[in-house]
Structures are given as structure tokens and as C-alpha cells.
């Protein structure tokens, strides 16, 4: 039987991947680990000296009963050693916690960059199916969970192992029986720890999902606040919120219960061992087979071990959190829903015809209909194509095939005689502007928003692009004209202004192919006409595609396609289509109102 | 250009030149944090108010915590008494036997108090956070719409999540901090009680630590604040990039954004590493002091034992205590960062909670049941800014069962009239009545049940179409939903979907076309079955085919319904019982289509231009028409399709 490939998101795989990430700074990590180990060893050496001090004091005390004058200098030495050891230990503690934090932050930095780059690469198809709230949560919380792992998980494990291992060795040398007794709590910890770790990890994954749900509820509510208000649906929304919150809270309660009972049992086990040490050690001291100093050493060891025992709970938490956060993040980082790029793509160097040859497209997945069916046409440079048709007929999807936001399922799109796939993606996209109907405004000045696709353009270019889109006059009326800040959703601008800003943004790119996807729907026809006229200047080499429901917007195009159910129904210029007397002619009559 | 941390290798810092002016972070992110102080009494007080409902649980937890801490303090003491044989003679057991029994008892109490206390505290802490988040969210449902209009969703979300998250960290730290503090005092007490001289000498180290902290604090605060600000800049940048990803990819802006982001991420990295160095410097400080304390015990304690003034058991207990003595101090120092972050987050959370509620029910507001839905505006003046009223002295009337269309150029105040009826805002002057009741005398709930609203931009929630259509109309059955969908002509495309009415809408309805979303929002308004329909007609985004279906549906729908339509299409306008022409916030003409045509005013002139929509008419032309009497300017001749 062939063995199955290991699940890349199993606990072990995810953790080992996180560890590998921290190995990017292996030198720093090495120093940190050494500091951790040294710090732990020094900490272990201190009880010995404390015990020594007790024994010395007692020995001197007994000596003093016999002799009048005693030399207390051994005590001085012990005191000095204790002081020195503690100080050095502090230096090690600083080194390891500082380096640990720095490595962790660096890892966070790397992950942040990778995540950012990955999101930029993932295709439209991917982004269409993933909720932005979810992506944001992962980018914030999950990276945080992985980052924290370095200090609270990775380094702490070295600390714990050294303390336990070293403590055991030292104690064994002192007294075998008593040291075994003082470590009776360790197997118990290991057993509890494993169980808790598994259950906490499962729970964490669920908690993260529920928190994402909660985010979604809040995000949608705030974005759709006008609908909520219009329907006075506050109570309905609160009910939705409460439902999502209650689910998250009950998971948190379970999490808390597992964690707290685990912590309590661990500390109980520890204290029980301590009681046993006291019992057997006390008997040994009473019978004279052990000095009081040795017992002190044992008890001091156990006090030192108490802190890490308390931390085992945190350690488990850290591991489970890192593995669940890691899984969620790595799944996105590993996704390869990219647009495939040719290894040595050509640059788009000269204008040429744009051709669709029998192009069909469907979204992946079962039962997905063909959105575009066997579409063929050619547009020459300098020409304009008009696309019209009912809602959902595939117009937008069709034009999104040109910058390769989607890939045709069959057929081929060619530019200048060569398939689009033979061009480098970057060069291809730089030669196309697709102006979409929905405008996203970035929180920045008007100027920076216009500059978005071509940040190096000069101020004059910005003004001329804005003028071409008939926006300049509006901008100069704004409080700080081009420096006016516009918000995330561009609420300060009207729909028409936003669309015009979107157009000027694209015009600034000066591309060979310009696609206007219903991008003047909120612009009045008069202004739209002016925009169209200004676009005509310098358009000798430009291929223009206009999608619109308004016949007046595209009736002057060289070629008009009427699309329905993803198929070309009618094709020709305005006059020809009118003569044909089909859908287009009917639409035209409807819009001229007679 | 950007800072580099010497210790770490970077992948590659932006080689490409960066666009000028693009490096600065969003200005408003930074400053609000800069001035926040470490401690804010108000925040603490308000936080305590939040705890109030849980006071009994908290009280029990605090008692548990005290018991727990007491047991912690007792352990070394019991050990000392046992070893010094002081527990003998209390019963017929030996000192060791009695000591062990006592120890076992304390362990049991320790276990139970630890378990109970931590469980209670963690649960309360978690509930507090949920209460707080819920409180914020609920408050946002009631604040004025103008606040929501000017505030980005992302910023609110970061308060709902990031800041609440920071408080969570703080609350967890707080529990341990309180325990640490009690432990500290317990230890101080026991140390002084066992031996005053040795205790005083050990405790003399505390002021030293205090002085160091006083110098350390301001430096640390600055570093922590810097780390926090850079963090929020990084987060804000990432959020925006995710939300605008299609623009980013469409304009091949990936590389520039990546480089800009790298600079911000790097700043954040440098700031956090610096903050870590400053925070961790307290570790060696505390350790050195611990060393001094142990040296004192070895030396002074040893001498005292030597002189017979101290038993060896006491010295052992001292050693055990001192080892634990600095733990709480160290922990308290490390918690300082969480504490400070919590303060800043608390301030920002309470800032949201303090946003004034826009509109509240008056105490005498009543629920009037279903009214006729008729609307009267009497002398209404309104604006978003007191200095610039957008509506002036509006009188209008929508009689029961009649359809009134509002027309006029963009920005004339049409949408404001619709918002006012729903009382999204209050008027400056004048009164608005619905069904004869002043809208301010109704509860908002009652008012909203009089009105079905269709917004210009359809907004769908990511649930099934069925639930979207009966949004907040819980009483609507599946049949009601289907009936409404059939009326607006949405049934056909919905039933063609693989899952029909159960189809789940993807984020913002991205799996539906804009026209389809519009139809759904029509159906949604229909299902509410409210007496008054307010419809803000969308501007030309539905194709003509569905538009005609919709017109037919509207005709059927409006037949006996009181309705106000903010109309853009002539076809809709023409059929209205009454047309109100608005310009610059004032009503300039009123009447039916026929009457207005006869009047020969602005409406008649606009209509004669033969545009399908009033919005299609260029602004400058409207300006001209409202001043002159003559007909068509020449440059428009080509715009009107020839017949």
C-alpha cells in the first residue's frame, strides 16, 4: 500500500515550519538559546550555594560553642558568589528575552511581508470567494499568534528542559531517593500537558473561526449601516451579533476551563511532591543521614522549578495557538490560485489588434454555467468596441479576461497576433486600464488617488487627466483642492465624481487598451459626452472598449456587440444593428422614449 | 531612507525609487496616540463601572485570590516551623508529622482556591470584553448617521477588535498582577515578622528599585507608544490593501505598495525591537538586586545564626521567601506595557462610547400602530452644517395613496428629504408629520414601521437571498418573499440559481450583478408592507430590459400606495400623481405632469430635451434653462439620438 503524503497542516508539520522560520536568524537564535541554557544553569547553581550558606552558618555556630573566635570568611565568599551569579544570570536573562523578542518580531515582519505579497498575487477569483474581514483577521491575529511562539514556546522549552534536566542531575548527585520524589510531578505534567494541548488546539481553531464570524457580522453591519437604519433593524442586528458572540463565548468558556483546571492540577502535583520531599527529607535530617543544607537545596530547587511548572500551561497554550494560527496562515500562503505566468514573457511593445478566438469561460466548481460562450471578435488599434446586453450576460467577465484576471476555459485571446499568455503579466497589465463601475478610494489626498496607478506622474499630468475626465473643475472647488483627503469609501464625493476620479486614475496610465466597464453610470450624459470627446484626442493607437447600458454612450463605436447569456447575439455598427431590427434596435427605441 | 536594524538581515529594502510623498503614514493614525498618558483615572473609573454587574463574582474571586496568596505565603513558613521543630508538642504528633499534615491541608486549600479563583476571574474577564464590544457595537447602531458617514469602517473595526484585544491581554495580566501584589505584601509582612533586622535590610532594596523605575518609566513609555503607533500604521495599510485589492492588481501597483508596506513594517520592527530592549533591561536589574538580597541573607543571616540569634530554619525560610520576593516585582514591571496599552485602548473604546447618540425617542414618544402613511412637511429647513442649509422652508404633502416624485438636479436636496422623513436627521426648523403625527412624537421603531425604503445603492448581507429579502421582517413567510420577488421580477433569476432562494450572497453581493442586487432591494422593501414607500431610484444601472419589467412592477405596486420617489427616469416621473421640482433646496414647481407641461417652467423645458433621465442633463444646461426661456443649445443636437 502506498503511504499517504503527510498532512502539511498537522500539528508537527506546522510547528516545524514555524521553527524553520525562526531559523532564518539562526545566529541570533543560537545566542538566545545559549543564554537561555546558561541562565537556567546559573539559576540551578544558586540553591547549592544557599544550602552551603546554611551549612556553613550552622557549622560555624557549632564551632563557636567550642572556640571563642571563629573566622566567618567562608560566609563572605558564599555571599559574593551568590551576588555575582545572580548578576550574570540577569545578563543572560536579558540577552535571551531581548533576542527572543527581536527574532519574534523579525519573524512577524517576514510573515507580514509574505502575506502582503501573497494577497497581491492571488487571483480575482480567489478574492471573490474570500471575505476580506477574514483575510484581515488572519493578517493581524494569526501572525501575532505565530510571533508570540518564539518567546513563549520555542525558547521556553529550552529553559524548561535545562531546568528540569539540570535540576535532576544535580539533585541525583545529592540524594537519589529524594530527587526521584521531588520529580514525581513531572510525568503527571507530561500526561496532562499532552491531553490539554490537543484539546486546546482544536478549540483554538474553532475560536478563530467564530471570531471571524463575529468580525463579519460587525463589518457588514457598519458597511451597510444605511440599510440597517432604513429598516430600523438594530435589534435584528444585535440578535445576529449576540448569536455569533454567544457561540464564541461558549468556546472561550471551554478554553478557560481546560486551561485553568490544567494549571491547577499541575500546581497541585508540584506541591504534593514538595510535601513528600519535606516528609522524607525531614525524616532524613532528623535521623542525621542528611544535612539541613541539603534539604534546603532541595527545597530551593523546587521553588525554582515552581515557576516553570506554572509556565507549562502557557507553553501548551503557546504551542496550540501557534499551530492553529500557523495552519490558518500557511493555508493562504500556500494557495497557488495565481494567474500562471510565462517564464520569459515578452513585453508589450507595440500596438496591434486585440482578438478573441472562440473564447469561453466558466468559474471553477460543479454546476457552474459558462459565463462566456464562444465569443470571437477583432478590434484594431484606434477603434472602439461597444458591448451591450442585459444584466449578468457576461460583459464584465468578458473584459476581465483581457488583463488576465481570469483565464479562458477554452479559446484564446490574442494581442498583436500573440496569445496573451506569452506576454509578461506585468507588462500586459500595464498596457491595459480596466475602469470598473465600483470605485475604491484610498484614504489619501485626491492627488494621491489619481496618482494611484502611476505614482511618478507629474502634477501637470494629474491635472490634465482630471480635466480629461471632467473632474478638474470639481476638485478645485474642494476645500484643499488636490490635497483634500478622501475617505475609505469616498463618502465626500458623489457617485459620479468617484467614477470620474476612477477614469482619471486610469487615463494617467496612458495605456494602449482602455476598457470602460459601465464606469460612467453615475455621470450625466452631457459630461459623459465631454469625457468621450476628450478621450478621442491621442486615441489613434488606443483600443477602447465601452460597456454601457446607455446606448448614447456607445452608439458611435466602430463595432457594437449585443451579448446575451454569454453569447454574441448581434454584431455590427449602429446603423447595421438598427437595420437588423433585433434586441439592439429595441433597446434603442426604448431609450429614446417614444 | 529607511532604518535598518543592525542585528537582522532584511530580504531587500525597496530598491526601486518610491513615489514622492507616498511614504508618510496616514496622518490621523499617529497623533491620537502620541498624547495619551499612561494612567487615566476616567478610564479606570469607567472600567470599574463595567465590572459592577459582576461584583459578587469578583468579590468571591478576590477572596479566593487572598486565600490562594495566603497559602503561597504559608508554605515556607510551615517548612521553617517544621524543620525548627517548633510544631512539636502541639499535639501528640511529632513536629514533622504535624507539619506534613498542615502542609497537605494548605496544598488542598491552595488547589481549590487557585482553581476557583482563576476560573471565575477568567470568565468574568472574558465576559467583560464581550460586554464592552457589544456595548460599542450597540452604541454604533444609535449614533448619528453623519458620524457614521464621516468615519471609516476600518477605523471602527480596529477599535472593536484591536483595542478590545489589548484590553484582554491587560485583564489577564491584571489578575496575575493583583495576585503578585498581595503576595508581595504578604512576604514583606512575614519577613519583618520573622526577624525585624534581617527583614529591614532586605527590604531596603525596594527604594533602590523604585528609583530605577522612576528614571526608566518615561523612556519606556515613549518606546512603547512608538511601537504601538507603528503597529496601527502597518495594520491600517494592510487593511486598505486587502479592501482595494482589485484596484491594486488592476493598476499593477503591487510592487509600489509592497515597497511602501515594507518601509512601514520595517519601522514597526525597529520600534518593537527597541521597545523590547527597554522593557527587558529590567530583568538584569531585578536579578542583580535579588543577588544582593541573597548575599545579605548569607552574610547577615549567617552571622546571626552564628551568634545564635537566628535559627537555621528561619534562614531557610528567608531564602525561600527572597527567591519569590522579586518575582512579583518583576512581573509587575513587565505588565506595565500591557497596562499602558490598555489605557490607550480604553480611551479609544470609551471615545466610541461617548459619540453622542444622534436621535433618541422623546420620553412621551408613542407607538401609533399602522398609520395612513401620508406625509406633510411644514416649513422645514435643514442642513448638515448649520451655516449651509440644504433645504429651505419646504412645504410638501404626500396624500394617502398618492405617488409623489421629486425631481431636480444633483445636489438639490432630494435625498435629504427622504432622510428627514425617516428621521435620520432632525430638522433645524419646521415639522414633519406622517399619518398626521409629528414624527418626533413617535418612537423610532413605530416610525420605521411606517416606511419601506429603497436606497440608491443596494446593500446585501452575506446570508441567503431569502433572508436578505425578508431582512428585519421576521413575520414574512417564504411565500411572502416569493410573491414580492415575483412582483419586482426577481423571481425568475432567483429560481434560475442553483440554490434558488437559499443561494448565499457572497461578500457585498459579488456573485450577483448590480441590477440583480437592485431588484432584491426592491423586493426587500415590498416585503415590509409598510404604508409609505420611499424609493431613491438608482441612476441608470439596470439594463433597459429589466427596467421595463421594473416599471411595470412599480405601477402595480404604487397603485394604492403612498409613495415618495426620488426619481431620475422620466418614465417614472411622468406617471406620478404629483411632481415636485426642487432646485437649490427650494421647491420651484409642483403639479402633475400635465400641469407642469402647461406651466412651461423648468420641468417642461427639461422634459422637452427628451432625455431618458433628468440626471443625463448637463449641469450647465440646467443653469442656463433655469435662467433663459429659449430652447435647445446647439451642441446638444448630436447627443439626442435621431429618430
Three cell numbers written together for A133:
474581514
A360, β-bridge pairs: A410
In this structure, the dihedral spanned by the alpha carbons of residues B256, B261, B262 and B263, taken in order and rounded to 10 degrees, is 100
Q: Return mean pLDDT, chain A.
A: 83
B447-473 per-position pLDDT tens digit: 888 888 888 778 888 888 898 898 888
The answer to whether B33 touches A50, Cβ cutoff 8 Å, is: no
User: For residues B552 and B545, what is the distance between their CA atoms, to the nearest angstrom?
Assistant: 11
pLDDT digit string (tens) for chain A, length 594 residues: 455 667 888 888 888 999 998 888 889 999 999 999 998 888 888 877 877 777 877 787 777 766 656 677 777 888 888 888 888 988 998 998 899 989 999 999 999 999 999 988 888 878 877 877 788 878 888 898 898 888 788 888 888 888 878 877 888 888 888 888 887 877 787 787 777 777 887 888 888 888 888 888 888 888 888 888 888 888 888 998 999 999 999 999 998 898 888 888 888 888 888 888 888 988 888 888 888 888 877 887 777 776 666 677 678 778 888 888 899 899 989 888 777 776 677 887 778 889 999 999 988 777 778 888 899 999 998 889 999 887 778 888 899 899 888 888 889 999 988 888 888 888 888 888 888 877 777 877 888 888 888 888 888 889 988 988 888 888 887 777 888 877 654 445 777 788 888 889 888 888 889 998 888 877 777 778 788 888 877 677 888 999 987 787 888 889 999 988 888 988 898 889 888 888 888 888 777 654
Q: How far is A172 from chain B (nearest CA, A)?
A: 21
DSSP character for B159? I
Reduce the DSSP state of residue B301 to 3 states and report it.
Answer: helix
Neighbours of B239 (CB within 10 A): 24
Are B233 and B265 in contact, with CB atoms under 8 Å apart? no
Contact B461 A110 (CB under 8 A): no
| A451/B461 Cβ within 8 A | no
DSSP helix/strand/coil, B583 = strand
Strand partners, B377: B396, B432
Q: Is A173 on the interface with B (CB under 8 A)?
A: no
Pick from B333, B276, B231, B265: nearest CA to A102 = B276
Inform me whether the pLDDT recorded for B9 exceeds 60.
no
Exposed/middle/buried for A186, CB within 10 Å: 0-12, 13-18, 19+? middle
CB contact under 8 A, B247 and A440: yes
Residue A357: phi and psi, rounded to 5, are: -115, 105
3-state class (DSSP) for residue A3:
coil
CA distances for A528 relative to A178, A189, A256, A471, B524, angstroms: 91, 74, 61, 11, 32
Chain B nearest-CA residue for A117: B258
> Strand runs (DSSP E) across B187-262, as ranges?
none
Kindly indicate whether the ipTM for this predicted assembly is greater than 0.85, answering yes or no: no
Indicate yes or no: CB of B247 within 8 angstroms of CB of A25: no
Q: How many angstroms separate the CA atoms of A388 and A396, rounded?
A: 10
- Residue A291 near residue A53, CB atoms below 8 Å: no
Contact with chain B for residue A131, Cβ under 8 A: yes
Q: Which three cell numbers stand for residue B381?
A: 429647513
Q: Which of A391, A482, A506 has the highest number of chain B CBs within 10 A, making it the mutation to test binding with B?
A: A391
Q: Which residue of B has its CA nearest to A259?
A: B119
Contacts of B385 in chain A (CB under 8 A): none
Strands, E assignment, B65-212: none
Q: In three state form, how does the secondary structure of B523-541 look? A: HHHHHHCCCEEEEECCCCC
Grid cell listed for B355: 459619540
User: Is residue B87 a contact partner of residue B102, using CB atoms and an 8 Å limit?
Assistant: yes
- Find residues 92-121 of chain A whose CB sits inside 8 Å of chain B: 93-94, 97-98, 101-102, 105-106, 108-110, 112-113, 115-117, 119-121
Q: What length does chain A have? A: 594
Q: Model pTM?
A: 0.74
B189 — contact with chain A (CB < 8 Å)?
Answer: no
CA distance B36 to B341: 10
Amino acid at each position: 500500500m502506498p503511504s499517504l503524503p503527510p498532512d502539511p497542516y498537522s500539528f508537527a508539520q506546522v510547528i516545524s515550519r514555524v521553527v524553520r522560520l525562526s531559523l532564518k536568524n539562526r545566529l541570533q537564535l543560537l545566542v538566545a538559546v545559549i543564554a537561555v541554557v546558561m541562565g537556567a544553569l546559573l539559576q540551578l547553581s544558586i540553591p547549592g550555594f544557599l544550602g552551603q550558606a546554611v551549612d556553613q552558618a550552622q557549622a560555624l555556630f557549632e564551632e563557636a560553642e567550642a572556640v571563642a573566635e571563629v573566622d566567618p570568611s567562608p560566609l563572605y565568599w558564599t555571599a559574593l558568589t551568590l551576588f555575582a551569579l545572580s548578576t550574570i544570570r540577569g545578563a543572560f536573562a536579558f540577552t535571551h528575552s531581548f533576542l527572543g523578542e527581536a527574532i519574534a518580531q523579525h519573524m512577524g515582519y517576514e510573515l507580514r511581508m509574505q502575506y502582503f505579497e501573497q494577497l497581491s498575487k492571488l487571483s480575482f477569483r480567489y478574492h471573490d470567494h474570500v471575505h476580506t474581514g477574514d483575510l484581515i483577521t488572519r493578517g493581524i491575529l494569526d501572525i501575532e499568534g505565530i510571533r508570540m511562539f518564539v518567546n513563549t514556546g520555542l525558547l521556553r522549552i529550552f529553559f524548561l528542559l535545562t531546568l528540569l534536566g539540570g535540576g535532576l542531575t544535580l539533585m541525583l548527585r545529592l540524594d537519589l531517593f529524594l530527587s526521584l520524589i521531588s520529580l514525581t510531578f513531572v510525568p503527571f505534567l507530561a500526561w496532562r500537558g499532552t491531553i490539554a494541548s490537543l484539546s486546546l488546539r482544536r478549540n483554538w481553531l474553532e475560536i478563530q473561526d467564530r471570531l471571524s464570524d463575529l468580525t463579519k457580522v460587525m463589518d457588514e453591519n457598519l458597511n451597510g449601516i444605511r440599510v440597517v437604519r432604513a429598516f430600523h433593524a438594530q435589534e435584528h442586528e444585535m440578535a445576529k451579533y449576540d448569536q455569533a458572540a454567544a457561540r464564541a463565548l461558549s468556546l472561550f468558556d471551554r478554553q478557560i476551563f481546560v486551561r485553568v483546571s490544567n494549571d491547577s492540577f499541575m500546581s497541585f502535583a508540584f506541591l504534593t511532591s514538595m510535601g513528600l520531599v519535606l516528609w522524607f527529607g525531614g525524616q532524613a535530617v532528623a535521623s542525621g543521614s542528611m544535612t539541613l543544607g541539603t534539604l534546603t537545596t532541595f527545597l530551593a530547587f523546587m521553588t525554582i522549578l515552581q515557576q516553570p511548572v506554572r509556565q507549562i500551561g502557557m507553553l501548551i497554550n503557546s504551542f496550540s495557538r501557534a499551530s492553529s494560527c500557523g495552519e490558518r496562515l500557511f493555508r493562504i500562503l500556500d494557495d497557488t490560485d495565481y494567474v500562471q505566468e510565462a517564464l520569459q514573457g515578452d513585453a508589450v511593445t507595440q500596438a496591434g489588434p486585440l482578438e478573441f478566438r472562440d473564447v469561453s469561460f466558466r468559474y471553477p466548481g460543479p454546476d457552474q454555467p459558462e459565463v462566456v460562450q464562444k465569443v470571437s471578435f477583432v478590434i484594431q488599434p484606434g477603434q472602439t468596441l461597444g458591448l451591450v446586453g442585459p444584466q449578468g450576460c457576461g460583459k464584465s467577465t468578458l473584459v476581465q479576461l483581457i488583463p488576465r484576471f481570469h483565464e479562458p476555459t477554452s479559446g484564446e485571446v490574442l494581442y498583436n497576433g500573440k496569445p496573451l499568455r506569452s506576454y509578461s503579466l506585468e507588462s500586459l497589465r500595464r498596457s491595459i486600464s480596466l475602469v470598473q463601475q465600483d470605485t475604491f478610494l484610498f484614504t489619501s489626498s485626491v492627488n494621491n488617488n489619481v496618482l494611484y496607478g502611476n505614482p511618478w506622474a507629474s502634477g501637470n499630468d494629474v491635472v490634465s487627466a482630471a480635466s480629461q475626465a471632467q473632474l478638474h473643475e470639481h476638485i478645485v472647488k474642494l476645500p484643499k483642492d488636490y490635497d483634500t483627503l478622501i475617505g475609505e469609501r469616498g463618502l465626500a464625493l458623489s457617485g459620479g465624481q468617484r467614477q470620474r476620479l476612477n477614469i482619471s486614475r486610469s487615463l494617467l496610465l496612458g495605456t494602449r487598451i482602455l476598457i470602460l466597464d459601465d464606469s460612467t453610470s453615475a455621470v450625466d450624459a452631457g459630461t459623459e459626452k465631454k469625457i468621450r470627446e476628450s478621450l478621442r484626442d491621442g486615441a489613434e493607437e488606443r483600443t477602447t472598449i465601452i460597456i454601457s447600458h446607455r446606448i448614447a454612450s456607445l452608439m458611435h463605436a466602430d463595432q457594437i456587440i449585443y451579448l446575451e447569456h454569454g453569447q454574441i447575439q448581434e454584431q455590427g455598427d449602429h446603423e447595421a444593428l438598427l437595420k437588423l431590427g433585433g434586441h439592439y434596435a429595441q433597446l434603442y427605441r426604448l431609450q429614446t422614449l417614444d | 531612507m529607511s532604518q535598518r536594524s543592525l542585528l537582522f538581515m532584511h530580504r531587500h529594502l525597496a530598491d526601486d525609487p518610491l513615489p514622492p510623498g507616498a511614504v508618510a503614514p496616514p496622518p490621523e493614525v499617529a497623533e491620537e496616540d502620541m498624547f495619551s498618558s499612561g494612567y487615566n483615572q476616567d478610564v479606570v473609573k469607567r472600567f470599574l463601572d463595567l465590572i459592577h454587574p459582576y461584583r459578587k463574582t469578583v468579590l468571591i474571586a478576590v477572596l479566593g485570590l487572598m486565600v490562594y496568596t495566603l497559602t503561597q505565603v504559608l508554605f515556607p513558613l510551615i517548612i521553617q516551623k517544621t524543620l525548627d521543630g517548633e510544631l512539636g508538642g502541639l499535639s501528640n504528633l511529632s513536629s514533622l508529622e504535624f507539619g506534613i499534615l498542615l502542609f497537605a491541608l494548605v496544598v488542598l486549600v491552595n488547589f481549590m482556591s487557585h482553581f476557583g479563583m482563576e476560573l471565575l476571574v477568567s470568565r468574568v474577564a472574558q465576559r467583560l470584553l464581550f460586554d464592552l464590544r457589544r456595548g460599542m457595537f450597540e452604541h454604533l447602531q444609535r449614533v448619528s448617521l453623519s458620524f457614521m458617514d464621516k468615519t471609516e469602517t476600518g477605523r471602527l473595526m480596529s477599535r472593536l477588535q484591536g483595542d478590545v484585544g489589548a484590553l484582554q491581554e491587560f485583564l489577564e495580566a491584571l489578575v496575575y498582577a493583583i495576585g503578585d501584589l498581595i503576595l508581595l505584601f504578604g512576604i514583606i509582612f512575614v519577613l519583618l515578622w520573622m526577624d525585624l533586622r534581617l527583614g529591614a535590610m532586605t527590604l531596603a532594596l525596594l527604594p533602590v528599585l523604585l528609583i530605577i523605575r522612576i528614571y526608566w518609566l518615561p523612556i519606556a513609555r515613549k518606546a512603547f507608544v512608538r511601537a504601538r503607533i507603528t503597529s496601527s500604521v502597518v495594520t491600517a495599510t494592510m487593511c486598505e490593501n486587502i479592501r482595494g485589492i482589485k484596484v491594486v492588481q488592476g493598476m499593477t501597483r503591487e510592487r509600489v505598495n509592497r515597497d511602501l508596506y515594507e518601509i512601514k513594517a520595517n519601522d514597526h520592527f525597529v520600534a518593537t525591537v527597541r521597545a523590547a530592549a527597554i522593557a527587558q533591561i529590567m530583568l538584569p536589574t531585578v536579578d542583580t538586586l535579588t543577588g544582593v538580597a541573597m548575599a545579605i541573607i548569607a552574610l547577615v543571616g549567617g552571622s546571626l545564626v552564628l551568634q545564635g540569634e537566628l535559627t537555621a530554619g528561619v534562614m531557610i525560610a528567608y531564602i525561600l521567601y527572597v527567591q519569590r520576593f522579586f518575582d512579583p516585582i518583576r512581573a509587575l514591571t513587565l505588565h506595565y506595557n500591557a497596562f499602558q496599552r490598555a489605557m490607550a485602548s480604553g480611551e479609544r473604546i470609551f471615545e466610541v462610547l461617548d459619540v453622542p447618540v444622534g436621535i433618541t425617542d422623546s420620553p412621551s414618544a408613542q407607538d401609533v400602530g399602522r398609520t395612513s402613511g401620508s406625509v406633510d412637511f411644514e416649513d422645514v429647513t435643514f442642513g448638515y452644517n448649520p451655516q449651509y442649509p440644504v433645504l429651505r422652508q419646504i412645504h410638501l404633502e404626500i396624500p394617502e395613496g398618492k405617488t409623489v416624485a421629486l425631481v431636480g438636479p444633483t445636489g438639490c436636496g432630494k435625498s435629504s428629504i427622504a432622510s428627514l422623513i425617516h428621521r435620520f436627521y432632525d430638522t433645524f426648523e419646521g415639522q414633519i408629520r406622517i399619518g398626521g403625527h409629528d414624527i418626533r412624537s413617535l418612537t423610532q421603531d413605530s416610525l420605521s414601521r411606517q416606511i419601506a425604503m429603497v436606497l440608491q445603492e443596494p446593500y446585501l448581507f452575506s446570508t441567503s437571498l431569502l433572508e436578505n429579502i425578508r431582512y428585519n421582517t421576521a413575520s414574512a413567510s417564504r411565500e411572502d418573499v416569493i410573491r414580492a420577488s415575483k412582483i419586482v421580477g426577481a423571481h425568475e433569476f432567483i429560481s434560475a440559481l442553483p440554490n434558488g432562494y437559499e443561494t448565499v450572497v457572497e461578500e457585498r453581493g459579488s456573485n450577483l450583478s448590480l441590477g440583480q442586487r437592485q431588484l432584491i432591494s426592491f423586493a426587500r422593501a415590498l416585503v415590509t408592507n409598510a404604508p409609505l414607500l420611499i424609493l431613491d431610484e438608482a441612476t441608470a444601472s439596470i439594463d433597459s430590459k429589466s427596467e421595463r419589467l421594473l416599471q411595470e412592477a412599480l405601477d402595480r405596486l404604487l397603485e394604492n400606495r403612498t409613495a415618495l420617489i426620488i426619481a431620475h427616469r422620466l418614465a417614472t416621473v411622468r406617471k406620478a400623481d404629483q411632481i415636485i421640482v426642487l432646485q437649490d433646496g427650494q421647491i420651484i414647481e409642483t403639479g402633475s405632469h400635465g400641469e407642469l407641461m402647461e406651466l412651461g417652467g423648468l420641468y417642461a423645458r427639461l422634459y422637452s430635451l427628451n432625455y431618458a433621465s433628468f440626471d443625463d442633463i448637463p449641469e450647465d444646461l440646467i443653469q442656463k434653462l433655469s435662467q433663459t426661456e429659449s430652447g435647445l443649445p446647439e451642441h446638444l443636437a448630436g447627443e439626442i439620438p435621431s429618430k
